[in-house]
Amino acid sequence: MKIGSLCTGYGGLDMAVESFFNAETVWTCEFDKYASQVIEKRINKPNHGDLKTTDWTQVEPIDILTAGYPCQPFSTAGLRKGADDERHLWPYIKNIIGILRPKFVVLENVRGHFGLGFREVLSDLASCGYDATWRLVRASDVGAPHRRERLFILAYAQDSGDGCLPVGIQSSNAQFGSNTFANANGSGLQGSIRQRHGFTENSQIAANTNSDARTQSRRTSGSLRTEDYRLRTRQDQRKTRSKSRFSREMDKKAVPAPLDQGKLNAKFVEYMMGLPKGWVTDIGLSRTQQLKILGNGVVPQQAEYALKLLWEQACG
């Protein structure tokens, strides 16, 4: 299977998708010139640059599209301008999905996206002919020593027949093997949609994140269904978990010093993000450039675990 990567960054989301689907990234799309240097050095695939200006009718066809699109319009750390933020790229990504028609779409963003812009994403996916499952997963759910809660979405095309994830891979052939984080618990809100005739305005797709644990389900004229949508309790989140793959990998690595000459050490951040040693820090970028790229990145082990959970939701 072939992967096309939008908003690639250092490629953390693509590492997870490659591992989970046994797929290969064939092209990337990254506008930032420093992140593009990481792509050139570590991924060595064509970089289409600015997704706003690329002629998407001319790119190599792919089976899976990934996009960890900019979080600044939705992040609680920013001004939360949403669609009014000049960095709001979702409308462009929606158009790209419509042109490329991949079998699967894997998206990632911050938790704050739930309360701002998420409804539009699900509506747009439905209008493009995709069903989707979504879930919040923390980096700590796979053993990382930090929370970094993120929203992951797995969308799959509905025009290839009925059934559980009907295109590309059959669920019975999904061999998680060493990729499994069997004893880790997912975190936060989760849900799925099944659409046939488009998205309806009165459908329930968002829940109050302060509500207690409950399952909400609504059916609206057969056009959209949200199911298995719940907020896990803190008690659930505190259940004992066996050591995950992240923890085992981290145990094998020498831990870089957190500080370097009194400043945050980019090599330590790279370690915390679960990346191979030197993935970002050994290609000649400045410390500031490295930290920016790492701060915008995805923990591959976290994303792979999210895919496992989303697959199980979709097939449930």
Catalytic residue among 7, 29, 71, 128: 71
H or E element: which one contains 245? Answer: helix 245-251
164 carries an active-site annotation: no
Distances (CA, A) of 31 to 20, 51, 53, 110, 156: 26, 8, 11, 20, 26
Give bridge partners of residue 2 from the DSSP assignment: 24
Which H or E element spans position 14?
A: helix 12-21
DSSP-based three-state secondary structure for 182: coil
Q: Which two tokens stand for residue 16?
A: 């997870």
Give CA–CA dist 303/273, Å, rounded.
Answer: 11
Run of H or E including 102: none
Is 64 in contact with 84 (CB distance < 8 Å)?
no
* CA-wise closest residue to 250 among 275, 281, 229: 275
Owner of token pair 């590309």: 168
Q: Strand pairing partners for 152?
A: 108, 135
Let me know how many helices (H) and strands (E) the chain has, helices first. 9, 11
Q: Half-sphere exposure of 88 toward its Cβ, with a 13 Å CA cutoff?
A: 18
Report the candidate in 68, 53, 66 with the shortest Cα–Cα distance to residue 24. 66
Contact 165, 315 (CB under 8 A): yes
Phi/psi zone of residue 285: left (φ > 0), alpha (ψ -120 to 50 degrees), beta?
beta
Catalytic center residues = 71
